[in-house]
């Protein structure tokens, strides 16, 4: 097991993933290399291969880790509409914090297709609460994910207005459209509109 002379502690996959995500935030996928990561961790580059096979495997670990760190809504009995909104907001916030990562996910969607990821388990739970039939869960979750991902990519690529408040309003509109769509699918009566989020100073 690799041990950093600076830290005197074993190298862990969590530490590798966290440091790699920071490097990716700073320089994108192109700015991340096994050698640069090893230098940041103060270990021999070969020691990384005890944890990941190559850079592509490393990117998969980073993406899975980021997905696992989403601030997901708890199963607290609140209306499914509120939980779906909270999930979409958490997804959006994470994507804005790590745009290079989510751009990579857009190009390689297979990375987070594992339905055992907590992201999907939470979405499935909310959709079941909304009354979505079991055979429709996969299709519905895929459509919702694509809808939110499309908004995120449009925002990170500069295809939306420069005004942050206008983007916030646009995202709230997207969430309302998603909610209305699920209500239409399940035959539920719409709830009164939820007030838009206000930007934090």
User: Which residue from 68, 48, 45, 67 is spatially nearest to 58, judged by alpha carbons?
Assistant: 48
The structural domains of the chain, with segments of one domain joined by +, span 13-65, 72-186
Residue whose tokens read 């779906």: 84
DSSP label of 197 = P
* Inter-residue long-range contacts of 15-21, CB under 8 Å, 24+ positions, other chains counted: 15/41, 16/41, 16/48, 16/51, 16/52, 16/58, 16/61, 17/61, 17/62, 17/65, 18/65, 20/58, 20/61, 20/62, 21/62, 21/65, 21/66, 21/98, 21/101
pLDDT digits (tens, 9 = 90+) for 30-61: 889 999 999 999 999 999 999 999 998 998 88
Q: Looking at the domain 72-186, which fold is it?
A: Tetracycline Repressor; domain 2 (1.10.357)
Query: What are the pLDDT tens digits along the chain (201 aa)?
Result: 444 445 567 889 999 999 999 999 999 988 899 999 999 999 999 999 999 999 989 988 888 788 778 889 999 999 999 999 999 999 888 888 888 888 888 788 787 777 888 889 999 999 999 999 999 999 999 999 888 888 888 888 888 888 989 988 999 999 999 999 899 888 754 555 455 555 444
Q: 13-65 belongs to which CATH class?
A: mainly alpha
Q: Is 198 helix (H, G, I), strand (E, B) or coil?
A: coil
């Amino acid at each position: 097991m690799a041990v950093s002379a600076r830290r005197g502690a074993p190298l862990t996959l969590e530490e590798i993933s966290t440091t790699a995500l920071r490097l990716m935030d700073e320089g994108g996928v192109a700015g991340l290399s096994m050698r640069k990561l090893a230098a940041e961790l103060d270990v021999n580059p070969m020691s990384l291969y005890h944890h990941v096979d190559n850079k592509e495997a490393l990117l998969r670990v980073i993406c899975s880790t980021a997905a696992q760190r989403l601030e997901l809504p708890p199963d607290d009995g609140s209306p499914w509409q509120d939980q779906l909104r909270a999930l979409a907001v958490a997804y959006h916030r994470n994507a804005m914090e790590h745009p290079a990562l989510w751009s990579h996910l857009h190009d390689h969607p297979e990375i987070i297709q594992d339905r055992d990821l907590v992201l999907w388990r939470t979405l499935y739970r909310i959709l079941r609460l909304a009354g979505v039939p079991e055979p429709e869960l996969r299709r519905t979750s895929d459509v919702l994910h694509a809808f939110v991902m499309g908004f995120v990519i449009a925002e990170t690529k500069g295809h939306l207005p420069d005004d942050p408040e206008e983007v916030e309003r646009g995202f709230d509109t997207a969430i309302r459209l998603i909610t209305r769509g699920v209500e239409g699918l399940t035959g539920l009566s719409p709830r009164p509109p939820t007030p838009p989020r206000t930007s934090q100073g």
